[in-house]
Amino acid sequence: MLLIDLHRHLEGALRVATTLELAHRYGHPLATAADPEALLVAHGPLGGLVPYLEKVDAAPSAFRTPDDWQRAGREAVLDAAADGLDRLELRFSPWFIRQETGLAPEAVIDAVADGVAAASHEAGLPVGLIGILLRDLGPAHGDAQVATLLSRRGLFCAVDLAGNEAGVPAAEFAPAFRRARDAGLHVTVHAGEAAGPASVWAAVRELGAERIGHGVRSAEDPALLDHLAAHGIACEVALTSNLHTSVAASYATHPVKRLLAAGVPVALATDDPRTSGITLSGEYETARTEAGLSPADLQRIAADAAKAAFGTR
């Protein structure tokens, strides 16, 4: 069975040890925090997406130079390889990193891509990069964010929209995503996590999403489930992250079974492995032991992930 992660954020995969090493080097506030790990890692439900994103966002500002981001890309790939992955799609937001560090987003892309390429070659792990547009910056910056990604078009296989899903409507980013699609980039969109089925419909209809990041609240709309199944639109499902954001109350009641029963393609993913303290192999075991998925379910999920992969470039 292939082990493929299609939804992993670089910003949420930064090693705790590396983050704290750099925090001490640069005098970052994490260096003097009483319990820095508690600021970086979730240890149970947090009551919503925003508190979870605060833990994701606590680390990137400790990575101050392009060399730090080259190291970040390299370590993220090596960690995935150590977990036995057969393929990884790694996503990040150059503009968010600029916001946190002051680095030029183009320099961030080049550094991450160099680190990823070196580790991919070293570990023999195919890696595709996905560029994120940050929803929180608003649609006025959508075109500029896409322009940044397209300035390095050869490094990316897809584009994504992420951030506070309950914020700016996805439709307002339609022009930016049209430009990305016209340039040949695939599209995945965060939806159906902090907001309901309407968010998923907007991702598909307005942005041309071929995959949905999370998408678990699609289970609330039978017509949407039918549409996702009929069009082969995969949901990138992150079980433990969904518990930490309180999208799901427990593994046993997680909507993944309803997605599978409706014929929706599902790809298990980590989302933010550092923030959630998980691995993809561990998520497959959790799916079996805690969520009650059968070996046949897991085989199908692995096959769905392989089919839904966008490719390395």
Which residue type, as a one-letter code, is found at position 116?
A: V
| CA-wise closest residue to 261 among 298, 297, 305 | 297
Which residue type, as a one-letter code, is found at position 100?
A: E
Q: Look-up: residue for tokens 């609330």?
A: 220
| CA-wise closest residue to 73 among 23, 124, 28, 129 | 129
Judge contact between 108 and 98, C-beta under 8 A. Answer: yes
Q: Which H or E run contains 87?
A: strand 87-92
Q: Check if 290 is active-site.
A: no
Catalytic option among 193, 210, 236, 283:
193
Q: Look-up: residue for tokens 């990305």?
A: 180
Q: Count the Cβ atoms, other than its own, within 10 Å of residue 166.
A: 15
- Active-site residues, by number, are 193
